[in-house]
Structure 1
Amino acid sequence: MSLPQIARILHWQHRRGPAHTLLRAVYDPATRQAVVVFSELASNPDDRGITNDFAPLAEAALPVLRKELSPDLASVLWIAHFGDFSYHYVPGPDSFTLITLEVTEHGYRDGENDRKLTADEVTRLFHGLPLAPVPEVLAGLEPST
């Protein structure tokens, strides 16, 4: 069975101003869970990184996930992704961090139990679908995304 997926540029409001990231997601209707990977792009202003204001980024992504994957979305795993396509890149393999968010009466709040993931762990979370290289994904996006 093929699971619903999306890839797009997501524009959002960082506390320091407009920002953007590559959003990739897969949705499992059986569990009603999405797994989202936000890739930090070199074209995003370097004072507006995804991990230093993650809660508003996740809140901006939710309507997109509900519209493009499922309005029945029950839970989301959030992953931050960095590599040679990012503005603060240290040579080596891509890095992935599972981001924890706390749900409050006012929305999300950044949590404190983030943890590093391997590329293999991300592939498993993405239901065995390896992430395509960021430049390849960006090249395949429609100009309006």
Structure 2
Amino acid sequence: MTNDSPVFKSDSHLSAIVHWSHHRNGRAHCLVRLYRLSDQVTAVASEIRSNSDSYGIADDMAGVAMQALELAQEHLNVEPRNITWIAHHGNFSYYDAFDPDTFTAIPLTWDGYRYQDRLEDHRLLTENQVHELLGGCILEPVPATLAHLGWPN
């Protein structure tokens, strides 16, 4: 994997800070957690406040996914089409954020070489829907996951 970030592995998932070149010509990073359910993987990309507001994940999920795919293939040996992508925002996303967690399904398409994203296909998910997509696993709070990775909060 080209990311040199540590990877945290638990019984239910693996986590890492993923760095990529944002399509707006800047460096970006986010927390990615991968949950395997048989031949499917659910990827939760969490916006974290240390990333510049100018290079957010919702504006470049295809870029996030391309870099996170390396992590998924290295550790989980999954096909690109078998990954469900979720964008996650909350009070950990921005210094002035106080909103509850929000989850957005990002149905990326794989053309054989790269992911493609259509903003009009994004849709909000309930916490119950996310819980189902994670196979009943509990999504660990972002600050706790960042601490496991040695990343400043």
What band does the TM-score fall into relative to the shorter chain? Answer: 0.7 to 0.9
1:97 aligns with 2:104: yes
Partner residue in 2 for 1:25: 34
- CA deviation digits over 1:118-141, x for unaligned, max 9? 112111110101111100111111
Partner residue in 1 for 2:55: 48
Percent identity of equivalent pairs: 39
Offset, 1:73: 6.3
Unmatched tracts of structure 2, length 5 or more: 1-9
Q: Normalising by structure 2, what TM-score?
A: 0.82
CA distance in 2, matches of 1:106, 1:74: 11
Moved over 3 A (4+): 71-74
Unmatched tracts of structure 1, length 5 or more: none
Q: CA RMSD in A?
A: 2.1
CA distance in 2, matches of 1:137, 1:100: 25
What SS is found at the alignment partner of 1:51? coil
Partner residue in 1 for 2:117: 110
- Residues 5 and 69 of structure 1 are in contact (CA less than 8 Å); yes or no, is this contact kept in structure 2? no
Partner residue in 2 for 1:66: 73
Q: Normalising by structure 1, what TM-score?
A: 0.86
1:39 aligns with 2:46: yes
Aligned length: 140
